[in-house]
């Protein structure tokens, strides 16, 4: 009985830590991307853009915008605020 409880407790702790990693980490991770623009392309020729993710600079409140799809073919540029 005592081992079952200990095993259940260990599983619960790891499950909670795993879940919090997915809920909290992306938000913290986004803060490090302020001022970055990720452009995603369909293939290695980088000719057809299929999506983008933009984190405007902190002077624009690090606003986030995205569209389309993500792929492994990406280019990262600096993002600027629109006037």
Position 58 scores a pLDDT of 84
Beta-ladder partners of 78: 36
Is residue 67 predicted with pLDDT exceeding 70? yes
pLDDT value of residue 59: 84
pLDDT at 60: 83
* 34-48: b (≥16 Cβ within 10 Å) or e: bbbbbbbbeeeeeee
> In this structure, are 43 and 17 located in the same domain?
no
Judgement on whether residues 39 and 78 belong to the same structural domain of the protein = yes
Same domain, 50 and 71: yes
Based on the fold, state whether residues 19 and 42 are members of the same structural domain. Answer: no
The predicted model gives 35-63 an average pLDDT of 93
Instruction: Say whether both 41 and 15 belong to one domain.
Output: no
* pTM: predicted TM-score of the whole model, two decimal places: 0.58
The residues near 75 (Cβ < 8 Å, ≥ 6 apart) are 38, 39, 41, 46
Give the residue numbers spanning the domain of 52: 34-83
Does 5 have pLDDT greater than 60? no
pLDDT of residue 74: 95
22 and 38 inside one domain: no
- The percent of residues in the chain predicted with pLDDT above 90, rounded, is 41
Q: Per the structure, how many domains does the chain have?
A: 2
Query: CA separation (Å) from 51 to 9, 40, 76?
Result: 42, 5, 12
Cα dist. 67→30, 49, 53 in Å?
A: 16, 11, 7
Reported confidence tier of residue 28, pLDDT bands at 50, 70, 90: very low
């Amino acid at each position: 009985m005592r081992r079952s409880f200990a095993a259940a407790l260990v599983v619960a702790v790891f499950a909670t830590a795993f879940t919090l990693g997915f809920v909290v980490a992306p938000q913290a991770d986004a803060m490090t991307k302020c001022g970055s623009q990720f452009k995603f392309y369909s293939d290695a020729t980088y000719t057809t853009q299929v999506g983008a993710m933009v984190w405007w600079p902190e002077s624009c409140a690090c606003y986030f915008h995205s569209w389309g799809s993500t792929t492994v073919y990406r280019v990262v540029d600096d993002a600027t605020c629109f006037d």
